[in-house]
Every structure is written in C-alpha cells, then in structure tokens.
Amino acid sequence: MIVIGNNIAVAFGLVGAFSIIRFRSAMNDPKDIAFIFFGMATGIASGLGFYLLAVLFTITLSIIIYFLYVIDYGGGQSVQKRMRITIPENMHYENVFDETFNTYLHDHKLMTVETTNLGTMYQLTYMITPKDGTSDKDIIDSIRQLNANLKVSIGMANPDY
C-alpha cells in the first residue's frame, strides 16, 4: 500500500501484472507463487523510486525465507501420487500387491478398476503415498514382477495440465 499510494495507474498496472503472471504460468508449488509475488513487489517498489523500502523488504523477507528453510517448515509432508497398473483379466488383484505396497508405501487406496484392450485387461488406479527415500522405479519394478510385466505408471495425483 505504501508503494501504490494514491496512484490509480500504478494500482491497475499492478493488478494486470499479477493477473498475467498468475494465470499464464503453471505453478505446481505454492512457494513458486510466493517468490513471484516477492519479486514483483520488490520490482515495483524500486521501479517507483522507493529504493530503501525495496531493500528493507528484500532483506526482511530473505531472512524469513532462510529461517523457514533451515527449520524445514512445510517439509516432510508425504507426496500423494496416482499409480495405474495394467493386469490380465484372469488375475485376482485384491491382495496380489499387498506385500509390495507394505514394503514401499505408507498408504494406498484403490480408486478405480476399469477394463481395457477390449476387456482382456484391467486397469487399476491407486492413490499412493510412497515412503521416504522410495523411488518410483523401485515401486514399478516390483509391481511389474507381479502383473506379467504389463504397463505400470506413476504420476502426480492431480495434474494441472
């Protein structure tokens, strides 16, 4: 508010700039948006001649960001992913993957079962939460040993594309 003051042109320019950046960029992490707003606020303050305010704002926010990074604020959260497994129609899928799931996952939930390939195969969709340090490749390799080496894919839980 200090930077904009009573200048209506700057206010509308600011709204336009925020709108373009927010809706034209695909952001997967809320931290990305926060850094963009941080950079824009600093840029606008220095562009309007409020250099001291821009420097103080940058120093203050940089210290806060560094402190949050050091204490790992927001870290350690489990990432939920979507896993699709293709299996032959004669395979009973209810408990066949339990040992693998217990080894590599904190949690799993079967979301959908659908037929593919003219009904000759099933596609299972799970929401999974991998254990820390578990790679997607390890999970996929273990599943492929059980599903007759058919397709297995792991992706984001809610893709924004």
Furthest CA-CA distance within the chain? 72
- Examine the pLDDT at 159 and tell me if it is beyond 60: no
Average pLDDT over residues 131-144: 91
- Residue 39's alpha-carbon distances to 58, 64, 139, 142, 158, in angstroms, are 9, 15, 39, 44, 27
Asked, for residue 32, whether it belongs to a domain, the answer is: yes
Residues 45 and 100 in one domain: no
Average pLDDT over residues 30-55: 85
Residues 66 and 89 in one domain: no
Question: What's the pLDDT band for 26 if we cut at 50, 70, 90?
Answer: low
Q: How far apart are CA 100 and CA 75, in angstroms?
A: 26
The pTM score is 0.55
- Examine the pLDDT at 161 and tell me if it is beyond 60: no
Q: How far apart are CA 127 and CA 25, in angstroms?
A: 27
In terms of Cβ atoms closer than 10 Å to its own Cβ (0-12, 13-18, 19+), residue 9 is exposed
pLDDT digits (tens, 9 = 90+) for 49-84: 889 999 999 999 999 999 988 887 776 666 889 999
Backbone torsion region of residue 56, taken as left when φ is above 0, otherwise alpha when ψ lies between -120 and 50, otherwise beta: alpha
End-of-domain residue from the set 45, 70, 95: 70
- Examine the pLDDT at 90 and tell me if it is beyond 70: yes
Angle in degrees, CA 126, 127, 130, rounded to 5? 110
The residue ranking higher by pLDDT, 88 or 119, is 88
Angle in degrees, CA 128, 133, 136, rounded to 5? 50
Asked, for residue 75, whether it belongs to a domain, the answer is: no
**CATH code of the domain in which 148 resides:** 3.30.70.380
pLDDT digits (tens, 9 = 90+) for 100-109: 999 999 999 9
Structural domains counted in the chain:
2
End-of-domain residue from the set 49, 70, 91: 70
Structural domain of residue 147, as residue ranges?
81-156
Q: How far apart are CA 134 and CA 138, in angstroms?
A: 7
